[in-house]
Amino acid sequence: MWEWFIHSLDRYNDFEGRASRTEFWSFAAAQLIITIGLLCVSGLLNMFTGVFFFSPLLVGFSWLVLMVPGLAVSVRRLHDINKSGWFLLLPIIPFGGILLLLFLAREGSYGENDYGPDPFEYLDLDELEEAQLWNEEPEMTFEEWTRDSRHSY
């Protein structure tokens, strides 16, 4: 999960290409864990100091830092299902947020689409997971896969 989170942070200004469900939901889960952790830390700081401005300050700072990478991975996730990034504006209309959530949870299109190649086209994840289970050397590591210039994932 944290590898995908760091990978998304590395591509913070890349609004082109595609992002798999794994990349998107790993980023979302890591962001949630960070926010909960900061809320716990700020609660402890508030309890021991009696000053109650730490919570909005810490959580607000993390929100500002993770806002652009979150938007970028969301746009790339929509690209994976062959939708425009403008679909992120769906929550403006009633029940649009539910539709957006369904889009983000949907499986991506297979093969190349209007926004680029399939994120899993160049990596056999089953082979990678199996090699990691048995401590074998996979054909391509996660780092090599993310640096591979043939794709943008």
Which range has the worst mean pLDDT, 6-20, 33-47, 92-106, 109-123? 109-123
Nearest residue to 67 (alpha-carbon basis) of 45, 87, 46, 88 = 88
pLDDT of 125 over the 80 cut:
no
SS3 18: coil
| Averaged pLDDT, 38-48 | 84
Three-state secondary structure call for residue 120: coil
Q: Which region among 22-26, 84-88, 110-114, 147-151 has the lowest average model confidence (pLDDT)?
A: 147-151
Q: How far apart are CA 137 and CA 116, in angstroms?
A: 29
Mean per-residue pLDDT, 86-115: 88
